[in-house]
Amino acid sequence: MDAYRQLRAEEIVSTLERLHARIGERFPGSGLSRVAEQVLAVARENAVQVQALKRSNPWFRGGIWLLLALAAALAVWTTFELASGRRNWIPDSGSELIQEVEATLGLVVYLGAALLFLLTLDSRWRRRRALRAIHELRSLAHIVDMHQLTKAPERLLRRLPPTASSPGAAQQISDPFLLGRYLDYCSELLALIAKIGALYAESLDDPAAVAAVDEIEDLTNGLSNKIWQKLIVLDHVADEQARGGATGHAT
Residues ≥6 apart with Cβ < 8 Å to 247 = none
User: What is the Cα–Cα distance from 182 to 113, expressed in whole angstroms?
Assistant: 55
What is residue 66's three-state secondary structure?
Answer: helix
How confident is the model at residue 26, as a pLDDT?
A: 94
How confident is the model at residue 168, as a pLDDT?
A: 55
User: What is the Cα–Cα distance from 203 to 127, expressed in whole angstroms?
Assistant: 11
How confident is the model at residue 56, as a pLDDT?
A: 66
Instruction: Render 138-207 in DSSP notation, one character per residue.
Output: HHHHHHHHHHHHT--THHHHH-PPP-TTSPPGGG----HHHHHHHHHHHHHHHHHHHHHHHHHHHH---H
How confident is the model at residue 93, as a pLDDT?
A: 56
How confident is the model at residue 109, as a pLDDT?
A: 75
How confident is the model at residue 104, as a pLDDT?
A: 66
How confident is the model at residue 2, as a pLDDT?
A: 60
Tens digit of pLDDT per residue, the chain (251 long)?
466 677 888 999 999 999 999 999 999 989 999 999 999 999 999 998 888 877 766 666 676 677 677 777 776 776 666 566 555 555 555 565 566 666 667 766 776 776 676 666 677 788 888 899 999 999 999 999 999 988 878 776 666 666 666 665 556 777 888 999 999 999 999 999 999 999 988 878 788 888 999 999 999 999 999 999 999 888 887 777 666 655 554 43
How confident is the model at residue 250, as a pLDDT?
A: 40
pTM of the model: 0.74
Q: How far is CA 110 from the centre of its chain?
A: 36
How confident is the model at residue 88, as a pLDDT?
A: 54
Q: Kindly state the DSSP code that residue 2 receives in the 8-state scheme.
A: G
User: What is the Cα–Cα distance from 197 to 193, expressed in whole angstroms?
Assistant: 7
